[in-house]
Homo-oligomer: A and B are copies of this chain.
Amino acid sequence: LDAEQRRTWVRFLAVVELLPCVLDAQLRRDADLSHFEYMVLAMLSEAPDHILRMSALAQRTNSSLPRLSHVVKRLEQRAYVERFPCPEDGRATNARLTETGWVKVVETAPGHVTHVRSHVIDALTAAQVAQLGDIARDILERIDPTGNMAYEPVLRQPEGRERGNA
């Protein structure tokens, strides 16, 4: 790493490590939700019928399946989400946003979007937003080639991997 690359990396790392705290703090304070919990509710709220399979939800929230499973259990206890077996595939579980959960998202989203805008988007010019979009895409392609690396154990490397969700 040359001097400029190093400077970029150090700063970028700081953002990567500080940003989750910033997002958590606002949501925790205003909605008693972690950012990850909010993501789960938000992704469900955008899905058809507010239903998503656990594995699809894990991809969309950039999380492992065990982590998601634990968190959904807590959200279920809070009555924001329900789980039921997938009719098409007995192995799969569907998660559905409840009416209560929907209300929660609708209440919470505006404040969160405002926070994201004021703390991240508005710090950048329009050109920088475009640049960051491209940069993030290029990095994602490296660190997450298949779009679903979340649950890839380091131990075993299956050679042909395929998965059928988009």
Binding site for B on A (CB under 8 A): 1, 3-22, 25, 28-29, 62-63, 113, 116-124, 128-144, 149-155, 157, 159
Contact = CB atoms under 8 A, between A and B. Distances in A.
A44 B59 CA distance: 37
Copies, count: 2
B136 A12 contact: yes
Contact of A139 (B124, B137, B140): B124
Given A12-B132, A62-B14, A144-B14, A7 B139 contact: no
A120 B19 contact: no
Contact of A155 (B6, B116, B133, B141): B6
Contact of A135 (B128, B137, B150): B128
Nearest to A122: B142
A120 B133 contact: no
30 contacts: A1-B113, A1-B117, A3-B153, A3-B155, A6-B153, A7-B153, A8-B129, A11-B133, A11-B140, A12-B133, A14-B136, A14-B150, A14-B151, A15-B136, A15-B143, A16-B19, A17-B20, A18-B143, A19-B143, A21-B150, A25-B154, A28-B154, A29-B154, A120-B142, A123-B138, A123-B141, A124-B135, A128-B131, A128-B138, A132-B132
A135 to B, nearest CB: 5
A117 B25 CA distance: 32
